[in-house]
Structure 1
């Protein structure tokens, strides 16, 4: 297997990401609001602080990706 094939597949997945994210705008907005609400600076954001919102966004993107698979 050539490494070029791996990069081509990865590039194709990255090209689809904006479309998938646009389909999950409500979940992305909720996650963004959660992150922004934690306060300024890196120290304010703790691991797992927005886990519920991130999980909803992840599930939405996974579902959208399944729908658009060839």
Structure 2
């Protein structure tokens, strides 16, 4: 398993865990640390999204639509 696949598997899990932790630790001072971690994982999710295998589906759909658009003209 490649490292980008591991990132794909663990990042949404970490986002969910830190998000739930934010809900439970709302009034406490430690909330800011969890908020920073959660936002960091969300940033990682957006940064690593274009390099995943699942983005191929979106690229393929756009490619097919563009092909049919150019074919009609």
With the length of structure 1 as denominator, give the TM-score of the two structures. Answer: 0.39
Q: Is the helix fraction higher in 1 or 2?
A: 2
TM-score (norm 2): 0.38
Give 1 or 2 for the bigger CA radius of gyration: 2
